[in-house]
Structure 1
């Protein structure tokens, strides 16, 4: 069975400082990016939705145009029947036949008028859909312009910080391997409790570097000895002496 290396308290504290400094640098890069990643994602989703709406409106317009063609065919067929009945009316033998033919012609003329009304209404609907489609196209163009600008900003920041960010991720990962899970969990819990993400702070001018609560001389002496993990009784952050804090570099 492979031996698991045991780290001294001082080594653990040094790793925690490295971890904190690397994570703080990553926080700075995240702040530099700001809301851009989320804004880009939201814009991409919005544009996808607008494209879907545009496609739906185009399909609806195509469906209405097919409906109009159907009605035009109905008119064409009805007009052909009217001509047929007009020709037949020239050879009627009695009033009964004449009335029957006239009734059929009236029905076909009504069919034509109804189809023409449907076509008129459908064309008006196409006009409404066309305006909606134009609005959707303008919205897409506008959003794509904003997206291009936001992406350009984000890509520039990523380009400027990518190498540095990767290096700090590497330092953070290596430091985590040297911190036992329980202590690492405490670090994460404390770090997530504060907006500035500081879980490890140095004692500065006899006070906690996080909450500025005074640290008694005896407590400061224990902190400098690096024999145990000591936390601030006021804010719960892990305390480090300034010498160890400043001697631990992450660049």
Structure 2
């Protein structure tokens, strides 16, 4: 019965370490991509923001241009009225009518002055907008080119790695399904909380892999016996002996080579 228990624990340790090797391989692939997907997303957001800004600027410029047209029309209307009132002044019967028409002419002249002032202001705004639009166009062209380059770069990496990553994720899922839920739960919790996602590590030079904390000799012997699952008291990682780790590394490298 003891022999059967020992084999069962050793099998669990091997499967856990296999799972770690698979998941670490996925991590390596994703590290190759690095921040590239986020860079692409940021660039896409920036390009979209620039397009939205330019659209608003174009709409505002169109609005200002329409205001210029409206003011020019108002000037023409005022000039027509001035001509009309000036003509009427020639046929007035008294000074009161003449003065009344003069006030109307004066009012229309003021309307023309105000409209011309507004036209100058609108045109100045249009020129300012054009400068902003030109700079935005340059920025948009630059960011669009950069986005195209980054997308191409990401596409190449994905093409090279996606097939392997998908195969590894399926392999990880299958391995996880063969391990009892309590161990998978512990493995996932440790992997989430420790550096580099290493939940199962071998003993290296008397310390747990990835740490400088020495494992007491008696504990190392117990780990090497493979009779129970032992965790590092400092990092919480599950520990395996170096020999078992090396055997599984060699085995899994052959599996990875076929992907």
TM-score under structure 1 length normalisation: 0.90
Deviation at 1:159, TM superposition (A): 1.5
CA-to-partner distance for each residue in 1:3-26, whole Å, 9 max, x for gaps?
xxxx93333222211211111111
Partner of 1:182: 182
Deviation at 1:64, TM superposition (A): 0.8
CA-to-partner distance for each residue in 1:88-116, whole Å, 9 max, x for gaps?
11111111111111111111111111111
Partner of 2:59: 59
Say what the alpha-carbon RMSD is for the aligned residues: 1.9
Change (3 A) 1:90 1:174: same
Partner of 2:127: 127
Is the 8 Å Cα contact of residues 194 and 235 (structure 2) preserved in structure 1? no
Partner of 2:141: 141
Deviation at 1:209, TM superposition (A): 2.5
**Distance in 1 (alpha carbons) for counterparts of 2:216 and 2:74:** 98
CA-to-partner distance for each residue in 1:16-70, whole Å, 9 max, x for gaps?
1121111111111122111111111111111111111111111111111111111
Which of structure 1's runs of 4+ aligned residues deviate more than 6 A? none
Q: Indicate yes or no: 2:17 matched with 1:17.
A: yes
**Distance in 1 (alpha carbons) for counterparts of 2:207 and 2:8:** 25
Gaps of at least 5 residues in structure 1 are 1-6
Change (3 A) 1:214 1:124: closer
**Distance in 2 (alpha carbons) for counterparts of 1:46 and 1:214:** 50
Q: Tell me how many residue pairs correspond in the alignment.
A: 245
Is the 8 Å Cα contact of residues 12 and 178 (structure 1) preserved in structure 2? no
Partner of 2:109: 109
CA-to-partner distance for each residue in 1:186-221, whole Å, 9 max, x for gaps?
222322333222111122444423325444454334
Is the 8 Å Cα contact of residues 231 and 237 (structure 1) preserved in structure 2? yes
TM-score under structure 2 length normalisation: 0.87
Partner of 1:170: 170
Higher helix share: 2
Is the 8 Å Cα contact of residues 202 and 209 (structure 2) preserved in structure 1? yes
Q: Secondary structure at the match of 2:195?
A: coil
Partner of 1:96: 96
Deviation at 1:86, TM superposition (A): 1.4
After TM superposition, list the pairs within 5 Å mapping 1:1-251 onto structure 2: 8-248=8-248, 249=252, 250-251=255-256
Deviation at 1:244, TM superposition (A): 2.8
